Amino acid sequence: MVKKVVYGVSAVFDFIYKLLLEYSKLVLLAIVFIVSAQVISRKFLGSSIQWSEEVARLLMVWMAFVSMAIGIQKGLHVSIELFFNKFPAPMRKVLTKVNEFVMCSCGLVMIVYGMQLINSTKTSTLSATQWPSSTLYLMIPVAGVFILYFSAIELFHLEAYIKTHFEEDEEVKVAIEQANAENTKEEGQL
């Protein structure tokens, strides 16, 4: 029963995460398009698009928070291993667990305080678009949820319950399996 619940939660998070990856691609294209349109408008038409800077900034902030969650999932955040590698293996395990716990805590803080920030800024508006100021902060709790989720997977060793490997389609999986089979076959012949 517990496995089914964990698999179900994992499937939901996998689906939402894939949507966020596609969203990130679209946001990046939108930022490039908006900034390019602003430059062209200012340079060649002599006027600027009033909302462009504000919307580009908003999308950049959203992209930064989504990127944090993606970085946690992929293990891409910067780490200094100079001293870490000098510790004995049991100490490294403890420090790794402490790091994972701290990351879970950061995700939780982002959820709680991100929601508070959204609530406290929902009555004010952005100057150019007149959107609620809270839209600038919408991705903080979203990123916090994913940071908490991915950190908890690492902390509690729940990798086996993740149904899919993100961004890998069937063709890539088949090609990897074939390459591994060929390497094993070649090693056996040597």
pLDDT, tens only, 113-165: 999 999 999 999 999 999 999 999 999 999 999 999 999 999 998 887 775 44
- Cα 32 from chain centroid (whole Å): 20
Residue 9 exposure: Cα atoms within 13 Å on the Cβ side: 14
Instruction: Give the pLDDT band of residue 76 (cuts 50, 70, 90).
Output: confident
Residue with tokens 């902030």: 61
What pLDDT does 36 receive? 94
Identify which of 185, 114, 179 has the alpha carbon closest to the alpha carbon of residue 146: 114
Residue with tokens 């803080």: 109
The model's pTM is 0.77
Alpha-carbon span 72 to 65, nearest angstrom: 11
- Would you call 132 helix, strand, or coil by DSSP? strand
